[in-house]
Chain A
Amino acid sequence: MATADRIFQRSILGRLQNNLFRTASAWGSVVVSGLTTLGDVTLFASQMLMWMFSAKPKKDTLLPNFYSIGVLSLPVVALTGTFIGMVLAIHSYDQFRNMGMETRLGAVINMSLVRELGPVLAATMLAGRVGSAMAAVIGTMRVTEQIDALVSMGANPIHYLVVPRFLACVLLIPALTIMADFMGIVGGYFHSVIILGIDHAQYLKNSRDFVGGFDLFSGIFKSVIFGAIIAIVSCYHGFHCEPGAEGVGRAATTAFVQSFVMILAIDIVMNLMLRAMEFALWPGGSKLI
């Protein structure tokens, strides 16, 4: 009986040990592959930066990218910005009216938009509209040997394909963020003042008093980092695309998902950093309350 118990215990312990090993090895491989990808992306980004500063990109590669990334993204960013501003007004109105502070709605909506929602929204739209397209285009070029053709004709693919896209994302995302901010403010104002009937003068006064230059700066600063993330992550996935239609599709999806997750993760870090900077510059400068 005792022997049977020992065998039973040993088999349970053995299974437990096996499961632990399997789990540890699975997590280990996830960590290793994550670190490898991070290293690859860093190398890719450093190569891109080296090319950006060592050779001037040509106008005919820059302008089409500026047009497709900046100009063509404006309508969708403006539209979604308006909707977000209106939705914020809809959700916040009841809470603020209960406290008799509905005229402060402008401050809350505008502050949320300028500091957080504008840059994140513009970046999300850019990642979805432009990032996945960048990964798909570069991935298709990789699969159809167009990147090899570039190299064989003496063009560096990072200089030719990545640098213009990076510059377009980094330089034009602030404009898109300002557009999202502006249209969100217009949307919030429209719903609060025109539909809900909040006093126009009070609404504007509170908006002006509580939203300052640093808020605008922090939103735009974040957007530049988001633009860089979108360009680097998307181009990286395009360059490392697996062969075939499935590979291109996967590259496009992964580019969007990873850009989006990184935008949100880095947003937290940057918010903490900017907040610390704000406290250091203007101690005790709490705004809304």
Chain B
Amino acid sequence: MDESFLSDIASATDQFASDSRNVLVETKSLSLRFGKQTILNEISIAIPRGQTLAIIGESGCGKTMLLKTLVGLMSPTSGSILFDSRDINALTERSMTALRRRFGFVFQNAALFDSMTIEQNIAFPLRQHGVPKGKSASQMILQRLNEVGLPSNVLSKRPSQLSGGMRKRVGLARALILEPDLLLYDEPTTGLDPIMSDVINELIVRTRRRYEVTSVVVTHDMHSARKIADRVIMLYPYARLKKGESQILFDGPPSELDHTQDRRVRQFVMGEAGERLMEMLATQGRDESGRGDLDSINPHDSRLRTID
């Protein structure tokens, strides 16, 4: 065996080791089933440190389930999840609790605790894990509040006294309080007006820049995905896949979304109902003994045209 061959092997091994060190979260053949219903099937994703990954896909495709499974809020039926090379399903409850210090989760409707003030909500992770040495809790709370652009007078208010956008920003401040390594956003712009959606997008971008945090964003807002993500993954409902097809229809940078050849991805990106509308109307027609609204459909309606 000559020396150059050995050095090639050594450099490939180093490259592999550095790649695996660079990966913060990885799923290996992850599957999630409820009874006979398969939600996620053999999902394998590696998320490098510092990357912002957007998971897109229609409602019911399993995006939120995947997000919750990543941080141990749901247990997978099979497969493994590695966080910093540690299998989170093999961890004890105590180790998992300690590991959760490194996660921040921004819930769809913020999931703020109704019984607490905004200050108590933001301080909750500090209460659980303790205040880092040399820092003061009130200073940290004010700093995070300032970062998400909220005035300090909201601290004494209850979540019910805030608007949807403000609640989401409080949710982000709470998720950021311990400066986590991994931030997960569940539909951060859903239910917000376009201006507030852009504010939230901007906050996600700034947070990533400031803390160099790895982020996973579940969204079906394509504007948001294009603005914030380095990489986009599109999931498709398992029940609609052909046998043997992967549930991940697209995995690449957002700029490639417009050049994909997959009809389903292009339909989603362009927001076209395609054959779904026909399916729905056919179901309506069946339910109404063939006297449905099929006659009222304009076959030249652009919404009915599939892209291919």
Contact = CB atoms under 8 A, between A and B. Distances in A.
A64 B120 CA distance: 15
A152 interface: yes
Contact of A154 (B68, B100, B108): B100
B113 A152 contact: no
Nearest to A145: B111
Contacts of B128: 153-155
B253 to A, nearest CB: 29
A146 B113 contact: yes
A265 to B, nearest CB: 33
B100 A152 contact: yes
Contact of B109 (A145, A151, A152): A145
A242 interface: no
A148 B114 CA distance: 14
Contacts of A146: 111-114
Interface string A150-161: 011111100000
B107 A148 contact: yes
Consensus secondary structure, chain A interface: helix
Contacts of B97: 154, 156
A154 B100 CA distance: 6
B108 A152 contact: no
Nearest to A64: B115
A146 B115 CA distance: 11
B113 A153 contact: no
A154 B125 contact: yes
Interface residues of A, number: 14
A153 B73 contact: no
B107 A145 contact: yes
A80 B108 CA distance: 45
A36 to B, nearest CB: 14
A144 B112 CA distance: 9
Nearest to B100: A154
Contact of B73 (A144, A152, A155, A156): A152
Interface in B94-146: 97-98, 100-101, 103, 105, 107-109, 111-115, 124-125, 128-129
B228 interface: no
Nearest to A152: B105
Nearest to A160: B128
B97 to A, nearest CB: 5
A152 B174 CA distance: 11
A140 B114 CA distance: 10
A149 interface: yes
Contact of B105 (A140, A144, A149, A155): A149
B96 to A, nearest CB: 8
Contacts of B103: 152
Contacts of B98: 154
Interface string A129-166: 00000000000110011101101111110000000000
A151 B111 contact: no
Given A153-B124, A154-B101, A144 B129 contact: no
Interface in B138-174: 174
Contact of A148 (B68, B101, B112, B115): B68
A143 to B, nearest CB: 10
Contacts of B55: none
Contacts of B101: 154
9 contacts: A64-B115, A140-B114, A145-B109, A148-B111, A149-B107, A153-B128, A154-B100, A155-B124, A156-B93
Closest 3 CB pairs of A and B: A149-B111, A154-B100, A152-B105
